């Protein structure tokens, strides 16, 4: 897709913006970049105490702590990516008003900090997995295409909602509420098998969400084949639906963004 | 698939290639129209937008800013653009720079155009002077190696050698402006577009800028928007006066400044 082929000039610009974003992110904090790792670990610790120790979710799942950790890491990546992306155009308004450049660079650069963070976090998860006694295997490599799928979804959402957000600043708030709700609609803290025990249909609906599909597929490949994937509950064609959703969202977003971005400088 | 602004630039490039026999023209502006939709009622939110739609309010009125602008800039020419506030000078500059798309008409640019609608675009107080120079350079379309070549000159012109590894927030405002200004005038582009950015810094620095601008004569294409008639007469080879979205006067600086002053008499 020509959309993502950058000229040399634009690659330099993207590189500089990413560098700046990353440098400034933890500016002035004592622990600096370590926060990229500490934050998801703390979030994991809370969820672990509440759901694994007190509510005793996931007793039947092997390596449940790692299972929970990878879920939160992937979820955080999705949330961080979309929230940075959606607000990126509005935040870079000063540049857009004064310089001519392809506007999607702003969105890509804003989401790339999340990509750097998730890469660091995946390394932490792998160390955890090894300590927890998960056997390494080649299927771990499947994480890469699955993360790419999730990134494309997050990028699509960022482009679409980011473009709308230029005119209607409500979108940022609405999306925050939607992600809050989605957190419970994605099997992060509870095992999907719990839902399946009461309703297979509900489990199927949950798994239509690409975020849920990616999280379960990564767990399946990384930790345990006991993680229920969408292929298992609905078969091959059912498994393709969520992937199709990603590409449909991305295609619509690109078309809409291309149409709107010409007018950002005037509207922002 | 390609992006609109890339495509826009490509179209401009093709047009320019066709014109290569007419090599002496740096910028050609033909029959340029631009209007803005000004919101009559604030519609910053969905709620307001829906209400306006229900009440049948269009929510904006159209304001014509440019109404058929025509002019050429020759290579090596120093062109001044003058006009009263709100006459459309900055809009014109933004269209030349590819920031706004015109409603109608065409802009052909022959060579690379470096726009300075504002000095120090993207400057970040938390970055060092050096980092800001490279960031600003990337925003203006220069690669890192091009910036490496220009860097020493920029620092020397700004007289900030010892401060380049300090964060920008520790600079005085004069120092910040000097750095931004030095990038602007040291940036190597075929065409320089400046919006009201002359005369910064103290007297000594201003003197340096003056002699620099005078040395540009004939070697560098410059488009300068300014309210200072003194600068127009001092630097420009030619000037145009924009009034009510049209070119009201085009010619020698002395003639145009006279017309400009007549606007108030």
- pLDDT tens digits, B110-139: 888 888 888 888 899 989 999 999 999 998
Query: B52 or B223, which is more confident?
Result: B223
Q: What are phi and psi of A251, to 5 degrees?
A: -65, -45
CA atoms lying within 13 Å on the CB side of residue A91: 14
A9 pLDDT more than 70: yes
Q: Report if residue A2 sits inside a domain.
A: no
CA atoms lying within 13 Å on the CB side of residue A7: 15
Q: What is the pLDDT of residue A30?
A: 76
Q: Report if residue B166 sits inside a domain.
A: yes
- pLDDT tens digits, A215-228: 999 999 999 888 88
Interface test with A, best of B1, B2, B3, B49 (most A CBs within 10 A): B3
What CATH number corresponds to the domain at position B258? 3.40.50.300
| Domain that residue A43 falls in | 7-267
Chain B hits for A3, Cβ within 8 Å: 1, 3
The total domain count for chain A is: 1
Q: What is the pLDDT of residue B74?
A: 92
| Long-range residue pairs from A228-235, CB within 8 A, at least 24 positions apart, any chain | A228/A191, A228/A192, A228/A193, A228/A196, A228/A203, A233/A196, A233/A200, A233/A203, A233/A204, A233/A207, A234/A204, A234/A207
Helices and strands counted in chain A (H then E): 12, 0
Q: Report if residue B60 sits inside a domain.
A: no
Task: Write the burial class of residue B9 (CB in 10 Å: 0-12 exposed, 13-18 middle, 19+ buried).
Answer: middle
d(CA B25, CA B77): 10
Tokens representing B178?
């000097």
Q: Report if residue A151 sits inside a domain.
A: yes
Nearest CA in chain B to A5: B2
Q: Report if residue A223 sits inside a domain.
A: yes
Q: Report if residue B46 sits inside a domain.
A: no
Length of chain B: 265
Chain B hits for A15, Cβ within 8 Å: 138
Find the helix or strand (DSSP H, E) in which A236 lies.
Answer: helix A230-261
- Whole-prediction pTM: 0.86
Q: Report if residue A55 sits inside a domain.
A: yes
A2 pLDDT more than 60: no
Tokens representing B5?
């602004």
- Looking at every residue in chain B, the average pLDDT score rounds to 84
The total domain count for chain B is: 1
One-character DSSP codes across chain B: ---HHHHHHHHHHHHHHHTTTSTTEEEEEEEEEEEEEEESS---SHHHHHHHHHHT---EEEEEEEEEEEEEEETT-EEEEE--TTSSHHHHHHHHTTSSPPSEEEEEE-S-EEEESSTTTT--TTSBHHHHHHHHHHHTT--HHHHHHHHHHHHHHHT-GGGTTSBGGGS-HHHHHHHHHHHHHH---SEEEEES--S-SSHHHHHHHHHHHHHHTTTSEEEEE-S-HHHHHHH-SEEEEEETTEEEEEE-HHHHHHHHHHTT-
Q: What are phi and psi of A107, to 5 degrees?
A: -70, -45
- Percent above pLDDT 70 for chain A: 98
Q: Report if residue B53 sits inside a domain.
A: no
Q: Report if residue B22 sits inside a domain.
A: yes
- pLDDT tens digits, B203-251: 888 888 888 888 887 788 999 998 889 889 988 999 999 998 999 999 9
Q: Report if residue B107 sits inside a domain.
A: yes
Q: What is the C-alpha end-to-end distance of chain A, expressed in Å?
A: 28
Chain A hits for B140, Cβ within 8 Å: 99
Q: Helix/strand/coil (H, E, C) string of B114-154? A: EEECCCCCCCCCCCEHHHHHHHHHHHCCCCHHHHHHHHHHH
Asked if B5 lies within 8 A of A8 by C-beta distance, the reply is no
Task: Give the gap in angstroms from C-alpha A194 to the nearest C-alpha of chain B.
Answer: 39
Using CB atoms, which residue from B2, B47, B139 is nearest to A13? B139
Chain B hits for A100, Cβ within 8 Å: 5, 97-99, 115
d(CA A155, CA A153): 5
Q: Report if residue B82 sits inside a domain.
A: yes
pLDDT band at B1 (very low <50, low <70, confident <90, very high): very low
Asked if B99 lies within 8 A of A100 by C-beta distance, the reply is yes
| Domain that residue B74 falls in | 4-30+67-262
Q: Report if residue B238 sits inside a domain.
A: yes
Q: Report if residue A32 sits inside a domain.
A: yes
Q: Report if residue A183 sits inside a domain.
A: yes
Q: Report if residue A1 sits inside a domain.
A: no
Label residues B115-152 b or e (16+ Cβ within 10 Å = b): bbbbbbbbbbeebbbbbbbbbbbbbbbbeeebbeebbe
């Amino acid at each position: 897709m020509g959309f993502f082929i950058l000229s040399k000039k634009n690659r330099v610009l993207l590189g500089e913006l990413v560098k700046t974003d990353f440098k400034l992110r933890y500016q002035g904090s004592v622990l600096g970049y370590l926060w990229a790792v500490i934050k998801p670990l703390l979030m994991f610790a809370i969820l672990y105490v509440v759901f694994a120790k007190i509510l005793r979710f996931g007793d039947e799942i092997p390596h449940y702590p790692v299972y929970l950790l990878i879920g939160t890491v992937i979820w955080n990546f999705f949330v961080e990516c979309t929230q940075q992306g959606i607000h990126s155009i509005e935040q870079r308004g000063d540049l857009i008003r004064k310089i001519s450049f392809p506007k999607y660079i702003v969105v890509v650069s804003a989401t790339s900090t999340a990509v750097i963070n998730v890469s660091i976090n995946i390394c932490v998860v792998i160390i955890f997995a090894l300590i927890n006694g998960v056997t390494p295997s080649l299927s771990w490599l499947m994480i890469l295409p699955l993360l790419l799928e999730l990134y494309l979804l997050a990028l699509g959402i960022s482009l679409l909602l980011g473009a709308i957000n230029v005119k209607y600043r409500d979108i940022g708030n609405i999306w925050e509420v939607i992600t809050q709700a989605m957190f419970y609609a994605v099997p992060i803290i509870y095992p999907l098998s719990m839902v399946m025990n009461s309703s297979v249909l509900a489990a199927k609906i949950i798994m239509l969400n690409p975020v849920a599909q990616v999280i379960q597929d990564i767990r399946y490949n990384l930790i345990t084949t006991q993680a229920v994937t969408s292929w298992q509950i609905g078969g091959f064609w059912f498994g393709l639906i969520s992937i199709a959703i990603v590409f449909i969202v991305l295609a619509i977003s690109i078309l809409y963004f291309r149409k709107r971005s010409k007018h950002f400088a005037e509207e922002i | 698939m390609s992006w609109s602004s890339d495509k826009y630039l490509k179209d401009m490039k093709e047009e320019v290639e066709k014109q290569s026999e007419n090599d002496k023209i740096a910028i050609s502006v033909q029959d340029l129209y631009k209007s803005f939709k000004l919101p009559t009622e604030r519609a910053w939110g969905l709620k307001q937008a829906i209400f306006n739609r229900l009440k049948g309010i269009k929510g904006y009125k159209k304001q014509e800013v440019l109404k058929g602008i025509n002019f050429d800039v020759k290579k090596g020419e120093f062109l001044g653009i003058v006009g009263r506030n709100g006459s459309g000078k900055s809009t014109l500059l933004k269209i030349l720079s590819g920031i706004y798309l015109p409603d109608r008409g065409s802009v052909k640019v022959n060579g690379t155009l470096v726009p300075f609608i504002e000095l120090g675009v993207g400057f970040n107080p938390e970055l060092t002077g050096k980092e800001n120079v490279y960031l600003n350079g990337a925003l203006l379309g220069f690669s890192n190696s091009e910036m490496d070549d220009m860097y020493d000159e920029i620092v020397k012109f700004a007289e900030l050698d010892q401060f380049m590894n300090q964060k920008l927030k520790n600079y005085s405002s004069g120092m910040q402006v000097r750095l931004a200004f030095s990038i602007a005038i040291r940036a190597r582009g075929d065409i320089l577009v400046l919006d009201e950015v002359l005369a910064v810094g103290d007297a000594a620095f201003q003197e340096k800028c003056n002699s620099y601008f005078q040395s540009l004569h004939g070697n560098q294409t410059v488009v300068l928007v300014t309210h200072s008639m003194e600068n127009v007469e001092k630097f420009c080879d030619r000037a145009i006066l924009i009034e009510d979205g049209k070119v009201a006067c085009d010619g020698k600086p002395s003639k145009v400044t006279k017309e400009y002053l007549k606007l108030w008499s």
